[in-house]
């Protein structure tokens, strides 16, 4: 009887170990909601899946396309997504209004916002927009910071004619000649217009003329930071590795995206999009830092611009309220 009891105990113990091992090896399901439809900026995330960086961290990552940073911020704050990838300024505006949301890493530390037109329009500096026609979307992040760019560079808003349109309308207005330039992201609109026309497009970055706001950020709910900090650290470790690898191998990153979503776009256009994204990954303050690590001074500068020009009541000194580097690899 004693032998049977011992055998029974061993079997129970073995079964418990197997059950425990199964739980330990089960990957955490994580949803990453993007800021927009797939384009080159998102290629590193797919590379991370393809190379197994997220899987090695015990994460089963599902990437969902977005419909704008505002929607992504709201959905992430509501818990519909584990992490969001969205414009930092848009997140701040929501957080100021009470949304439970915080950034834990910034991929685009130099703003992709730009005035974009065909190269022969010769828009190289803010002074070159005087007397020209711009097409923008009322209320979006570009149109909100456009007055700041003009003011910082001593230009009266009345010196530029403004017409309105959504993303597709803006491209068509520039292509048809109805507008001299549009306001958009250098890694989104520029490659698409060049693909459609075969003509070179010049992008005048806001960041090069006094208006830089940190942009593409990984965001999540503060309660996740408190309840499962290990998951946040593992996710960011894999994301950081993915971005660094995409810098070194752009083609592999784009191919990884197309493997998952063949309709994401033309390979050469996506490659051009990621190529112009790479210079935006760091500022002068983070040049020697790994991807995603963001200098508090850059965040404070962003808050200062938002408070001065976007009607956001925020104290530029309250960086910790909206951003932390604490979950990134040391």
* Count of C-beta atoms within a 10 Å radius of residue 304: 15
pLDDT values of the chain reduced to their tens digit, one per residue, 330 residues: 443 444 344 444 444 443 444 434 589 999 999 999 999 999 999 999 999 999 999 999 999 999 989 999 999 999 999 999 999 999 999 999 999 999 999 999 999 999 999 999 999 999 999 999 999 998 888 888 999 999 999 999 999 999 999 989 999 999 999 999 999 999 999 999 999 999 999 999 999 999 999 999 999 999 999 999 999 999 999 999 999 999 999 999 999 999 999 999 999 999 999 999 999 999 999 999 999 999 999 999 999 999 998 889 999 999 999 999 999 998
Domain of residue 158, CATH code: 3.40.190.10
Whether residue 314 sits in one domain with residue 261: yes
Q: The whole model's pTM is what?
A: 0.89
Q: What does DSSP assign to residue 290?
A: P
Model pLDDT, residue 279: 97
Whether residue 238 sits in one domain with residue 314: yes
Report DSSP letters for 193-247, one per residue. Answer: HHHHH---EEEEEGGGGT-----EEEEE-HHHHHH-HHHHHHHHHHHHHHHHHHH
How far apart CA 170 and CA 188 sit, in angstroms, is 12
Whether residue 122 sits in one domain with residue 47: no
97, 46 Cβ separation under 8 angstroms: no
Q: Of 191, 209, 227, which residue is a domain's last?
A: 209
Model pLDDT, residue 204: 98
Whether residue 125 sits in one domain with residue 106: no
Nearest to 324 by CA among 140, 30, 91: 91
Whether residue 233 sits in one domain with residue 97: yes
Which domain does 301 fall in, by range? 24-110+214-322
How far apart CA 309 and CA 151 sit, in angstroms, is 9
Tally the domains of the chain: 2
Q: Of 174, 209, 244, which residue is a domain's last?
A: 209
Model pLDDT, residue 6: 42
């Amino acid at each position: 009887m004693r032998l049977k009891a011992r055998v029974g105990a061993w079997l129970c113990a073995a079964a418990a170990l197997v059950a425990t091992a199964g739980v330990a090896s089960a990957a955490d399901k994580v949803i990453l909601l993007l800021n927009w439809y797939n384009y080159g900026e998102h290629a590193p995330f797919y590379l991370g899946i393809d190379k197994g960086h997220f899987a090695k961290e015990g994460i089963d990552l599902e990437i969902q396309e977005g419909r704008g940073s505002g929607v992504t911020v709201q959905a992430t704050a509501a818990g519909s997504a584990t992490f969001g990838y969205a414009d930092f300024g848009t997140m701040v505006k929501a957080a100021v209004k009470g949304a439970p949301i915080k950034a834990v890493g910034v991929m685009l530390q130099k703003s992709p916002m730009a005035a974009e037109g065909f190269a022969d329009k010769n828009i190289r500096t803010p002074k070159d927009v005087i007397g020209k026609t711009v097409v923008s979307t009322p209320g979006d992040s570009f149109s909100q910071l456009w007055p700041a760019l003009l003011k910082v560079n001593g230009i009266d808003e009345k010196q530029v004619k403004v017409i309105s349109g959504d993303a597709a309308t803006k491209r068509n207005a520039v292509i048809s000649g109805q507008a001299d330039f549009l306001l958009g992201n250098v890694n989104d609109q520029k490659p698409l217009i060049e693909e459609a026309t075969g003509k070179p497009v010049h992008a005048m970055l806001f960041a090069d003329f006094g208006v830089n706001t940190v942009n593409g950020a990984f965001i999540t709910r503060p309660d996740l930071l408190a309840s499962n900090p290990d998951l946040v650290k593992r996710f960011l470790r894999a994301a950081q590795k993915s971005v660094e690898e995409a810098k070194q191998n752009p083609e592999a990153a784009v191919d990884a995206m197309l493997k998952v979503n063949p309709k994401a776009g033309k390979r050469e256009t996506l490659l051009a999009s990621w190529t112009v994204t790479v210079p935006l990954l760091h500022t002068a303050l983070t040049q020697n830092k790994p991807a995603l690590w963001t200098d508090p001074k850059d965040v404070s500068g962003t808050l200062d611009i938002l408070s001065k020009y976007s009607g956001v009541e925020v104290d530029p000194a309250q960086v910790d309220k909206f951003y932390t580097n604490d979950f990134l690899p040391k």
